[in-house]
Amino acid sequence: MFEWSQLAEEYVPARTALASARDDQARRLLAGDCIFGAQTAHWPRSRFMFIVRLDEALEQPRATYDLFLRLSAVRPEEAQREAFLALPAIVAAGDFELAGQYMPQPLARLNQLNELAEGEPLLPAPWTAPRLGAELSAFMADVRLAGAILDGLGRPEEAASLRTAALSGIASDELRSLATQECAMPGTIVRTLVEHQMKLEAPRPDATDPASPT
């Protein structure tokens, strides 16, 4: 998907093909085919999730919002299940009344985050999944979404209180510091994890290289 998004930025036919594929997937979803890929898979893949990723590659969040409205009209139970995927697009569209129906409750995840921090490193060893970093990133994404919804609903005091409670509730000083940076500059957590992995995977200087320290 990343390669497709890069190609679509530079090559108009690729963008057109990507949009056409997205529209075809949307038609299948609205017709009731909600599983992407093998129907008998142990963990079935969500077609709506695949469409959201296509919209992200096309940088068209409005398309996600419009599709969610159509899905809500024809298949409300499926829309209810997939609402968390559509929520960023709903907020981007400024439909805070609808977003409020699905607003995340990040403070309910604080205990899980703190418990995970007791046994998982923030910056793991090479080729190890950054479980704690991923959980922190998801937690802060929910804080950001919920805060934006409350602000949009004209409840800024509640939004500020939520952000304060979320940060103060993080037990680890290291995690709290990174979460604070994430508030000021979204994407900081992911960049920190990626930079850490890149440093670990960088080749070490060859001892026989004249330029290497001896």
Mean pLDDT over 195-202 rounds to 80
* Segments making up each domain of the chain, as ranges: 1-37+44-102, 104-202
CA distance 156 to 176: 22
Q: How far is CA 160 from CA 54, 154, 185, 193, in A?
A: 33, 12, 17, 27
Write a three-state SS string for 26-65.
HHHHHCCCCEECCCCCCCCEEHHHHHHHHHHHHCCHHHHH
Per-residue pLDDT band for 178 (boundaries 50, 70, 90) equals very high
Question: What pLDDT does 11 receive?
Answer: 61
In tens, the pLDDT along 100-137 reads: 999 999 999 999 999 999 999 999 988 888 999 999 99
Q: What's this model's pTM, rounded to 2 decimal places?
A: 0.83
Question: What pLDDT does 146 receive?
Answer: 97
Mean pLDDT over 2-22 rounds to 76
In tens, the pLDDT along 16-45 reads: 888 999 999 999 999 999 998 776 667 789
Q: Work out the percent of the chain whose per-residue pLDDT is above 70.
A: 87
Question: What pLDDT does 12 receive?
Answer: 72
171: Cβ–Cβ under 8 A, 6 or more apart, which residues?
Answer: 114, 117
* 33-40: long-range contacts, CB 8 A cutoff, minimum separation 24: 34/75, 34/78
Instruction: Kindly tell me if the per-residue pLDDT of 207 is higher than 60.
Output: no
Task: Label residue 187 left, alpha or beta by phi (over 0 means left) and psi (-120 to 50 means alpha).
Answer: left
- Residue 48 identity (one-letter amino acid): F
In tens, the pLDDT along 55-82 reads: 998 999 999 999 999 999 999 999 999 9
Instruction: Kindly tell me if the per-residue pLDDT of 214 is higher than 60.
Output: no
- DSSP bridge partners of 36: 45
Residue 110, judged by CB atoms within 10 A of its CB (0-12, 13-18, 19+), counts as middle
